[in-house]
């Protein structure tokens, strides 16, 4: 298994565990049960990747100490976790023992337990059988209240990630040329993502020509042609685990389609206006509405087929979502993408994406490459 330990100050982790406990109590939850993943990493500073053997942080809402239940053979992967500083106990089990009974024994007689959103169904049902009287809920709604309000250290990590991905976009003329396939360009970009300071490339979208009209296209063997518009959406985690995610749209030589400049200008105006609308107190959906109104007024509303943005941190997609219907009031420390797009089926697509952070009185953009269509040599 691979374990990642983020090097977060133990005092910060201890405060997160305490806040998670009291948030659980406020929500009427007796205990949080958190499997490996970004929630676990957020709370204890590291996480492994075990699947069928139960690893689970048992975090009671009351004063009983938190316990990391884990398979004994996985224990070395958690050796760097500062158990003592966190007041965290470890309880290892071996193959043949029943880990669900072990967890049940720690819980007493709970009425409500909240399970981490990514817990495998295998364990959800195993725990249901071991604690049959307890209602199971998702832990996500409890933990997102913590995770979407980022502290200065988290913002600094996101800023570092943003600068690193900006450096990759700045090098695009090295990679993106007519006559190469999307996959070839994507492989070079993935290497550059690592070379510029990421741990790995989490995703690489090279959407050339008609493929750009599919927002989550990855790469294909399509050969890029002179005159293509190409959507490049790239990102990955830096050492602390915080992610970058930025999109720029390029043209390989002067764009073939005469509609590109005017259509792109609508998108640029929409993205700029949406970023400018970000400040504390503004509902998340207002930012979406600003972008959507500009694109719709220009006649492209039906070609903007996704929400305007998503929160980002230890996960590439997390709360808060910048979407119609989300009336959450933005607060300082919230970090999310602003990424409207226009997708013309069978023709081409364009998207502009920056990660922004809500400040005390406005907004800071963590991506700072130019927003104009970048015309590369064909």
Contact positions toward Zn ion, by CB under 5 A?
233, 245, 247, 337, 353
Minimum Å distance from CB 1 to Zn ion? 28
* 147 DSSP assignment: H
Minimum Å distance from CB 336 to Zn ion? 9
Minimum Å distance from CB 201 to Zn ion? 12
Closer CB to Zn ion, residue 315 or residue 353? 353
Minimum Å distance from CB 204 to Zn ion? 10
**Start-to-end CA span in the chain (Å):** 45
Minimum Å distance from CB 188 to Zn ion? 18
Other beta carbons within 10 Å of 125 = 12
Closer CB to Zn ion, residue 30 or residue 339? 339
Residues 337, 220: Cα–Cα separation, whole Å: 25
Main-chain phi, psi angles of 175, to 5 degrees: -110, -40
Minimum Å distance from CB 309 to Zn ion? 7
Closer CB to Zn ion, residue 21 or residue 159? 159
User: Positive or negative CA dihedral for 260, 263, 265, 269?
Assistant: negative
Minimum Å distance from CB 310 to Zn ion? 6
Query: Nearest 5 degrees, angle CA 327-CA 328-CA 330?
Result: 125
Residues 268, 264: Cα–Cα separation, whole Å: 6
Minimum Å distance from CB 216 to Zn ion? 6
Closer CB to Zn ion, residue 89 or residue 202? 202
Helix then strand count (H, E) for the chain reads 11, 19
Residues 267, 278: Cα–Cα separation, whole Å: 17
Minimum Å distance from CB 337 to Zn ion? 4
Closer CB to Zn ion, residue 154 or residue 245? 245
Closer CB to Zn ion, residue 134 or residue 201? 201
Closer CB to Zn ion, residue 123 or residue 144? 144
Task: Please check whether residue 347 is in contact with residue 210, taking contact to mean a CB–CB distance below 8 angstroms.
Answer: yes
Other beta carbons within 10 Å of 135 = 14
Closer CB to Zn ion, residue 93 or residue 175? 175
Peptide bond into 338 cis (omega under 30): no
Task: Please check whether residue 103 is in contact with residue 67, taking contact to mean a CB–CB distance below 8 angstroms.
Answer: no
Residues 127, 147: Cα–Cα separation, whole Å: 25
Task: Please check whether residue 107 is in contact with residue 86, taking contact to mean a CB–CB distance below 8 angstroms.
Answer: no
Closest CA to 306 of 330, 270, 342, 278: 342
At 153, which helix (H) or strand (E)?
helix 152-170
Closer CB to Zn ion, residue 92 or residue 323? 323
């Amino acid at each position: 298994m691979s374990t990642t330990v983020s090097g977060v100050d133990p005092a910060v982790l201890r405060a997160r565990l305490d806040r998670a406990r009291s948030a659980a109590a406020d929500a009427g939850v007796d205990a949080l049960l958190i499997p490996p993943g970004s929630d676990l990493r957020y709370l204890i500073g590291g996480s492994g990747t075990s699947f069928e053997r139960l690893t689970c942080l048992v975090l009671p809402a009351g004063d009983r100490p938190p316990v990391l239940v884990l398979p004994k053979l996985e224990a070395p992967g958690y050796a760097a976790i500062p158990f003592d500083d966190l007041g965290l106990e470890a309880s290892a089990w071996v193959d043949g023992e029943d880990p669900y009974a072990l967890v049940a024994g720690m819980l007493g007689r709970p009425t409500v337990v909240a399970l981490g959103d990514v817990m495998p169904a295998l364990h959800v049902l195993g725990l249901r059988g071991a604690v049959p009287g307890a209602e199971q809920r998702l832990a996500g709604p409890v933990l997102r209240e913590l995770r979407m309000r980022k502290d200065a250290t988290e913002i600094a990590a996101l800023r570092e990630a943003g600068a690193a991905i900006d450096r990759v976009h700045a090098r695009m003329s090295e990679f993106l040329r007519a006559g190469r396939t999307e996959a070839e360009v994507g492989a070079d970009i993935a290497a550059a993502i690592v070379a510029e300071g990421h741990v790995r490339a989490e995703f690489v979208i090279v959407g050339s020509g008609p493929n750009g009209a599919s927002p989550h296209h990855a790469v294909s063997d399509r050969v890029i042609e002179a005159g293509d518009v190409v959507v490049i959406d790239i990102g990955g985690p830096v050492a602390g685990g915080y992610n970058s995610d930025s999109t720029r749209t390029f043209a390989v030589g002067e764009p073939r389609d005469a509609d590109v400049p005017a259509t792109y200008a609508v998108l640029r105006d929409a993205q700029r206006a949406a970023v400018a609308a970000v400040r504390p107190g503004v509902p998340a959906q207002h930012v979406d509405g600003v972008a959507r109104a500009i694109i719709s007024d220009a006649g492209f509303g039906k070609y903007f087929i996704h929400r305007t943005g998503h929160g980002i941190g230890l996960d590439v997609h997390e709360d808060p979502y910048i979407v119609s219907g989300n009336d959450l009031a933005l607060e300082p420390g919230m970090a999310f993408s602003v990424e409207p797009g226009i997708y013309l089926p069978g023709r081409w697509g364009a998207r502009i994406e920056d990660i922004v952070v809500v400040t005390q009185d406005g907004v800071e953009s963590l991506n700072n490459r130019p927003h104009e269509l970048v015309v590369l040599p064909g």
